[in-house]
Structure 1
Amino acid sequence: MFQPSEPKKVLCIHDLSGAGRCSLTVILPVLAVMGAQPIPLPTMLLSTHTGGLGDPARQDCGAFGRAALEHYRSLGLEPDCIYTGYLGSEDLVCLAAEAFRLWPGALKIVDPVMADGGRPYSGFGPGLIQAVGQLCRSADLILPNLTEARLLLGQDPALPEGSVSEQEALDLAGRLTGLAGRAVVTGLPMGKFVGCAGAGEEPFVVRHLHMDRSFPGTGDLFGAIVTGSLLRGNVLSAAADAAAGFVAQAIQHTPRDADTRCGVWFEPLLPRLAPMREM
């Protein structure tokens, strides 16, 4: 049973998109309900995410982020984990690297949000992709999707995303451990299933039935649950299995006629992530 203790502090260096259920609007409630204390450090403010909701209003938060790090340092704040996501400029990658430098004992988790569907996101040229790759070398765990994994390994991201065998998935995750100590590759097409593969401890593959719908923010949901699970002391394979299962449940819970641009309806399912407490 769960024993109450001081919550683990997670410095969350991600963008904050107002509408669309992604990034910090997903990560903060998930980590909080899992018993951690999330500390949001927004890299950029957006009115919506960038996946089909028009041209969002934007505000770069690099200067704020540097001032916030200095303030936290002066307070003696010691995060147990630093979890990074979308970093839309080399300056913001440097901000995340500075956080890693200030708190070397923290668990460092990098979701290298820079590409999907066989191509980089807008604004991610070779220099920025290389900078994200360097940040991954400082991480304890990286969480790329298939396209991002190929970019990190210097492969052509536009290679056909046909079905991946279990051995191919394990080989891909294994090669990524040359960058970071542990790696989980997400969104792997595996016939009737979609899977993730991990390496760095005992290699593993997790598979769930492929859903015929795609939503923004599911990668953030996955990464937040993996982070919260690891901070509870779970092994990486169990954390990835729990995360993949919850994402599948959230997709199933979202009505068929819901606007997919607005993300999965995960909020009613959050109690399932809460730790069990003794009466």
Structure 2
Amino acid sequence: MTTPRVAAIHDMSGFGRCSLTVAIPVLSAMGVQCCPLPTAFLSTHTGGFTGFTFLDMTEEMPKVAAHWQELDLRFHAIYSGFLASDRQIGIVSDFIRTFRRSDTLVVIDPVMGDDGKAYQTYTSALCSGMTHLAELADVITPNLTEAAFLLGRPYDQLPQEEAGLQELVRELGLHGRRSVVLTGVSLSPGKTGAMCFDAKTSRTETVQVDMIAHPLLGTGDIFASVLTGALVRGDTLFSAAAQAADFVRACAVHTAAQDLPLREGVDFEPMLGLLTKQNTI
């Protein structure tokens, strides 16, 4: 059986566990070949660090895509996240249109911000462009802040109760055109997880796990990467979301026990065996 192949369009940070330094090992552990297409290279991620370097890879991305097209590479999935410039919206859109086939899954993590605010490298134009890019997705994985940006709605006016969140994910799903996994949803004290809308079945379902004491950087990238790997392996949206939530929870518990600096991200590497054990040969 051919090893599934995913084109991962994300940034890479030399230090700090996020984006490609998460996606590559997670997808590899799940038996999926990860083909990285970097959008930027940073010396560190932007959360908790100052003075970081930022190399915009916009000029290189079309060259990589053109070479891959010459090689007639085929991907089981295209998985995109953090973008570095407005121009990359068009580049990633063209990449999806070029490499998408009838059986290609397109997962877009519409990375824009958190806690009601845009990330410091994101402009209003880039956020607007991300909304248009997300229209090409089969599955999107926004957090609550990104959901507000996608819908053009004030963050502090998003619903908190289950019925309102169910309607929210349906709206984010463009009423059946794409599936949605809305992360950072808490429906009861001490719990966190995701509200899911499956466009194939028009069903919604909630995944909840015990919340850890402190939020950790990189959990969103881990969640989306595990979700993508599980979907590529043929799991349902709800099963994939549950696997992602369980793995993030296990990594968070392990990290909390190490008493590591929060800005270093989730200490997930020792936990990759949990993903490998799910593979069959």
TM range (shorter): over 0.9
Pairing partner for 1:178 from 141, 150, 174: 174
Per-residue deviation, residues 58-78 of structure 1 (Å, max 9, x unmatched):
111111111000000000101
Match of 2:253 in 1: 252
Displacement of 1:165:
2.2
On the 8 A contact 1:197/1:204 being kept in 2, the answer is yes
1:222-233 pair list within 5 angstroms = 222-233=223-234
> Hey, what's the Cα distance between the residues in 1 that align with 2:184 and 2:46?
19
Q: Which residue of 1 aligns with 2:150?
A: 152
Shift of 1:160: 6.5
Query: Are 1:30 and 2:33 matched, yes or no?
Result: no
Q: How does 1:40-189 map to 2 (within 5 A)?
A: 40-105=36-101, 106-157=104-155, 159=156, 164-178=160-174, 180-189=177-186
The more displaced of 191-200 and 147-156 is 191-200
Of the three residues 265, 276, 280, the one matched with 1:277 is 280
Maintained 8 Å contact 1:26/1:221: yes
Q: Distance in 2 between matches of 1:234 and 1:189?
A: 24
- The corresponding residue for 1:239 is 240
Contact 2:89–2:133 (Cα < 8 Å) also in 1? yes
Give CA-to-partner distance per residue, 1:32-63, whole Å, 9 cap, x none: 11011100000000010000111211111111
Shift of 1:166: 2.2
TM-score (norm: length of structure 2): 0.93
Residue-by-residue CA offset, 1:57-100 (whole Å, 9 max, x unaligned): 11111111110000000001011111000012111122211111
Secondary structure, counterpart of 2:60 in structure 1: helix
TM-align CA RMSD: 1.5
Shift of 1:161: 7.5
How far 1:129 sits from its partner (Å)? 1.3
- 1:138–1:276 distance in 2 versus 1, CA, 3 Å: closer
Contact 1:169/1:205, CA 8 A, preserved across alignment: no
User: Using the alignment, how far apart are the partners of 2:27 and 2:185 within structure 1?
Assistant: 25
The one-letter code of the counterpart of 2:221 is D
Q: Structure 1: which amino acid aligns with 2:274? A: R
Give the aligned partner of residue 5 of structure 2: 9
Aligned residue-pair number: 272
Letter in 1 for 2:107: I
> Which SS does the other structure have where 1:86 is aligned?
coil
Q: CA deviation at 1:169?
A: 2.2
CA deviation map 1:10-50 (0-9, x unaligned):
00000001111000001000001101110000000001000
Code of the residue aligned with 1:257 in structure 2: it is D
Per the TM alignment, residue 181 of structure 1 is displaced from its structure 2 partner at its CA by: 1.0
Unaligned runs of 5+ in 2: none
Q: In 2, distance between residues paired with 1:161 and 1:256?
A: 35
